[in-house]
A and B are shown apart, each in its own frame.
Chain A
Amino acid sequence: MKKDGVVYTVLFSFLVAFIFVFFLSLAYGATKGKVAENKRLIMANAYLSAADIPVPDPAKAEEIFKKVFPDFNASAPYNEAMVNGRDIIVSPFQGNGLWGTITGVIGVTKDVNTMIGLSIVSQNETPGLGGRIDEKWFQDQFRGENIKNGIEVSHGGGTGDTDPDNGEVDGITGASRTSSAMEVMLNNKIKMLRKELGGGN
């Protein structure tokens, strides 16, 4: 067969593509379970962090998760749980950051007046700047924050806002756009939860 002929070229391209894609699908199939497990683990850790439940070993988060949220429904807009005698709501949120979509989980009390916690599941913000929304100091500022009037991510000293009553948290220096994006998406979520739960003022 002529090597530069049409028949050989078409046959060769087809065969090569077939063989490589075949091996890829094998690799994909072999790791599918593991990938799904990692994803579940990330979500379990995010929900537990938003509910302010300490997880001593992140790899075992799923066991604690099942105890705290026995009737968890991933497709519901929010899920309820009883933590330390308080009725709390956890709900996933998402919104536009500077470069891409930010997704996370928010935890609030059932009257939507106090924030329990916040965790970020995925983000594509600038590493080291907006990407710091992943960091503990930023997320810890939200714990116990009074959100009767929504939340405000403000310019501050850059060390974190420790006053839980003012509804303010420190933004990230050098990442004003990400900080205000967080403010918008959290306030939208708070408003939405208030509407669904019919409470709050």
Chain B
Amino acid sequence: MVDTPAKILKENVWYSNPVFIQILGICSTLAVTNNLMNTVIMTVGLMFVTGFTNVTVSLLKTLIPRKVRMIVQTLIIAFYVIIVDILLRAYLPDVSKALGPYVGLIITNCIIMGRAEAFAQSNGPLLSFWDGITSGLGYMWVLMIIAFIRELLGFGTLFGFPVLPAGMTHWTIMVMAPSAFFLLGTFIWVAKSIMLKAEGGK
């Protein structure tokens, strides 16, 4: 099976989307999506880390002894996450404050290790980079939709700008993590329905 960039894009963004098909990275999906700004920074951070981890793993794959493969991958992931954390701390202190421990938790996001193991271990660096970026993209658009609904109903704002009338009662549940469960569930339902319909129509 030869993977073309277009096919990888389609797979990662839709057919094997890391969030709603592989159900990976759910912890952060619940945690950061009550605010669009935080979601954007978090997902861009993840995209960066996944992309570069994949390149590095792909470059080193012939050198890594099998016994310590996972440990080395974790080390590489941690390296890029700390780089992101240091950059945020130095140049975007407000964002770093708002995201708090979540940046460090990118290390434990299963999407990164999943892609390193499943893709970068057996593919070239360029294709692996593309795979990492598109996986991040698949993660990003799902989280953005959830964050859009949560911030709109929970705060009445989008990216911090008020869009709903001031008199609106904010939905407290949308600010809390459980609402992401409901929204993600609904999202999976809708996405799967569309997918099944498309299959049936073939």
Query: Do the two chains bind?
Result: yes
A residues apposed to B, CB below 8 Å: 3-4, 8-9, 12-13, 16-17, 20, 23-24, 27-28, 31, 34-35, 38, 41-42, 122, 124, 126-129, 173-174
**Cβ-based interface call for B180 (8 A):** no
Instruction: State the Cβ distance, B201 to closest chain A Cβ, in Å.
Output: 41
Complex alpha-carbon distance, A173 and B170, angstroms: 11
Query: How many residues from B make CB contacts under 8 Å with A?
Result: 32
**Cβ-based interface call for B161 (8 A):** no
Instruction: State the Cβ distance, A67 to closest chain B Cβ, in Å.
Output: 23
Q: Of the 9-residue stretches B44-52, B85-93, B113-121, B125-133, which lies at the interface with chain A?
A: B85-93
* Apart from A35-B86, A35-B89, 5 more pairs, CB < 8 Å: A17-B75, A24-B82, A27-B82, A34-B90, A129-B176
Would A9 and B172 count as touching, CB distance under 8 A? no
B residues apposed to A, CB below 8 Å: 34-35, 38, 60, 63-68, 71-72, 75-76, 79, 82-83, 86-87, 89-91, 93, 97-98, 100-101, 154-155, 172, 175-176
Would B90 and A31 count as touching, CB distance under 8 A? yes
Q: Which residues does chain B contribute within 8 Å of A42, judged by CB atoms? A: 93, 97
Q: Which residues does chain A contribute within 8 Å of B38, judged by CB atoms? A: 127
Beta-carbon nearest neighbor of B82 in chain A? A24
Cβ-Cβ contact count across A and B, 8 Å cutoff: 69
Among candidates B68, B86, B90, B175, residue contacting A13 with C-beta atoms closer than 8 Å: B68
Q: A129-B172, A129-B176 are in contact. Are A3 and B65 (CB under 8 A)?
A: yes
Q: Which residues does chain A contribute within 8 Å of B98, judged by CB atoms? A: 127
Beta-carbon nearest neighbor of A5 in chain B? B65
Would B67 and A4 count as touching, CB distance under 8 A? yes
Q: A16-B72, A24-B83 are in contact. Are A4 and B91 (CB under 8 A)?
A: no
Would B65 and A9 count as touching, CB distance under 8 A? yes
Complex alpha-carbon distance, A80 and B90, angstroms: 31
Q: Which residues does chain B contribute within 8 Å of A8, judged by CB atoms? A: 65
Would A28 and B65 count as touching, CB distance under 8 A? no
Q: Which residues does chain A contribute within 8 Å of B34, judged by CB atoms? A: 127-128
Q: Which residues does chain A contribute within 8 Å of B155, judged by CB atoms? A: 128
Among candidates B60, B71, B100, B154, residue contacting A124 with C-beta atoms closer than 8 Å: B100
Q: Which residues does chain A contribute within 8 Å of B90, judged by CB atoms? A: 31, 34-35, 38
